[in-house]
Amino acid sequence: MFEFLVLMIAVAAQAVPPQTAGMTSAAAPAVAAARAADVAATAPAAAKPASPASQPPEPAPAAEEAPPTAAAPAFLAPEPAAPAFLAPAPAPSAEAAPAFLAPAAPGLVAEPQTPTGRFTTATEIRPILNATRNNWILVREFNGQDLVYVTHLWAWRCGLAELRIGINGAEPQPWALPPCHLDQQAPNAILQSDGAPYLAFPLGFVQSVEIGLTLDDLSTDGGRFNRQGMPIP
């Protein structure tokens, strides 16, 4: 009895077809599609293309760089600047004429220059003054004072129209000249009535003397002298 029951169960099992064996050929594709859908659902989602609005802006194209400039060849390089010691010297600035060369004072009138042989004109005394410039002034220390002598200039005063003197850089001021003694044999002689041919200052005061001359033809001359009476360049 038991063996018969086992046999009946085995026959029944062979009579039932598989789950898919009874499907028609038309239903097979649908099953395949469903399975594919299940696989697609479980698979990781593929990256969707981003919409244009969500895409980051493309970087602007870089500006084109200018091509590098080729360096000038050495033989076209500018010449180096000359060293300082070869630079041209600056033009000397114009300086005002010294005060002792001031023009003739207003009111002076040029005198005739006819030589008389008595040294009474600028034409006659100019060469003497030029040759004896070291004798124009003398500073003498006497009796506790500096005495500035102009005896030499007074000795040729007949050819002068004006004498100016300045001490220690002061602007030269007129010093009245004695008259020219045309009635005398020596018109330039210094008489007692002409006064003293010096100026007095405290001892050691005089360091420099400036002399300005206007000759009787209205030309001018002058110079600067130290305490020893020597011209100062």
Segment 33-89, tens digit of pLDDT = 555 455 444 544 444 444 545 555 565 555 555 555 555 555 555 556 656 555 565
What Rg do the C-alpha atoms of the chain give, in angstroms?
A: 64
Return the percentage of the chain with pLDDT > 70, whole number: 58
The total of structural domains in the chain comes to 1
Token pair recorded at residue 77: 């390089």
Residue 11 lies in a domain: no
* Residue 16 Ramachandran class (φ > 0 left, ψ -120 to 50 alpha, else beta): beta
Residue of higher predicted confidence among 26 and 98:
98
Q: What b-and-e string marks burial along 23-54, b requiring 16 or more CB atoms within 10 Å of the CB? A: eeeeeeeeeeeeeeeeeeeeeeeeeeeeeeee
Residues 111 and 24: their CA atoms lie apart, in Å, by 159
**pLDDT for residue 3:** 57
Give the structural domain span for 160: 117-226
Q: pLDDT tens, 146-170?
A: 999 999 999 999 999 999 999 999 9
pLDDT, tens only, 2-29: 555 555 665 555 554 544 444 444 444 4
* pTM, rounded to two decimals: 0.58
Q: Say if residues 220 and 109 touch (Cβ distance below 8 Å).
A: no
Q: Give Dmax over CA atoms of the chain in angstroms.
A: 203
Instruction: Report yes or no on 87 lying in a domain.
Output: no
Contact between residue 99 and residue 112 where contact means Cβ atoms under 8 Å apart: no
Q: Is residue 124 part of a domain?
A: yes
In this predicted structure, the answer to whether residue 105 has a pLDDT above a threshold of 60 is yes
> How many Å apart are CA 114 and CA 231, to the nearest integer?
31
Cα separation of 130 and 126, whole Å? 6
Give the residues across from 221 on adjacent strands. Answer: 213
Asked, for residue 22, whether it belongs to a domain, the answer is: no
* Helix spans in the chain (H): 2-15, 27-42, 122-131, 151-154
3-state secondary structure of 40: helix
* Average pLDDT along the chain: 77
Confidence of residue 145 (pLDDT cuts 50, 70, 90): very high
The confidence band for 185, taking pLDDT boundaries of 50, 70 and 90, is: very high
In a domain, 73, yes or no: no
Q: How far is CA 145 from the centre of its chain?
A: 50
Note the pLDDT of residue 233. 85
